[in-house]
Amino acid sequence: MGGFGGDRRERLARALDEADAVVIGAGAGLSTAAGLTYAGPRFEAFFGDFIERYRFADMYSGGFHPFGSFEERWAYWSRYIWCNRYVKAPGTAYDDLLSLVGGKDYFVLTTNVDHQFQLVGFDRRRLFYTQGDYGLLQCSQPCHKRTYDNEPPVRDMIEAQGWQISASGALTLPAGTRPAMDVPAELVPHCPVCGRPMAMNLRSDDTFVEDEGWHAAAARYQDFLRRHQRGRVLYLELGVGWNTPVIVKFPFWQAVEKNPRATYACVNLGEAVAPSAIERRSVLVDADIASALRALLAS
């Protein structure tokens, strides 16, 4: 079933062209294809000092380390947030996707928390970030159901470590300097209501805050699905794995099975599958997402 040969490319291009609406389901594989890697040179460039001290293998696992102080924890997390949320991915996968669907009636459902859709120009009212946003803070308790934009405090923490931020958001260090591995105590974020430490607005347990913005996006997504439940809809799944299939993958399969005019497309290197009930209306692309999107643009 692998590859993105002529037949599959033509079928997916035709489904995209003929669709009245496109529902995009995006997982971590899309951001990886766009170059948001959590290990290797990118990780080493921003976290070399933490790698040296703690032997972290990658950015993600380092985020679970029990740092000895909030000042050190936020030095790590401010860099983590900045390079994954406020800097556009180096690859073109998100740009190419927007070029493919920008003229369509589309909606994006994503488990990604890196904000890359908005950074390339997707309409924010057509996005539903189900699992949170690296750009938001919440009370760690939480004592109330509100989230807070973290760009100003994160910027302050980055600069307090010695990093310089360019107009594009890129981080650089003055020649011959090493960044600090903690931030001043007064920059550690605390809840404005109860004074407890703030936490990231990421779904990891039952403390995750679904604020007004989250519920508004959920309502817009459900309204979009209702309006198109009987139309020619392309359910385009990109880079969704098996960690949380109940959010994107299984609902897409169910929606296509219920609507005989719908098509399911899955682009995922090594994991492009569909149930037998919708196999004839599925386009399974076992290929690199960035390459597949670029090929579609050239079709």
Q: Where are the beta strands (DSSP E) in the chain?
A: 21-26, 106-110, 127-129, 132-139, 148-149, 164-165, 171-172, 198-202, 233-238, 263-267, 282-285
Residues of the chain scoring pLDDT < 70: 1-3
What pLDDT is stored for residue 283 in this prediction? Answer: 97
Q: What per-residue confidence (pLDDT) applies to 4?
A: 76
Structure token pair of residue 157: 């923490």
Question: What is the average pLDDT value for the chain, to the nearest integer?
Answer: 96
Using the 8-state DSSP alphabet, how is residue 3 labeled? B
Determine contact, residues 208/136, Cβ cutoff 8 Å: no
pLDDT of the residue at 3 = 58
- Model pTM score: 0.94
Task: Round to whole Å and give the CA distance between 33 and 83.
Answer: 16
Per-residue pLDDT tens for 256-286?
A: 999 999 999 999 999 999 999 999 999 999 9
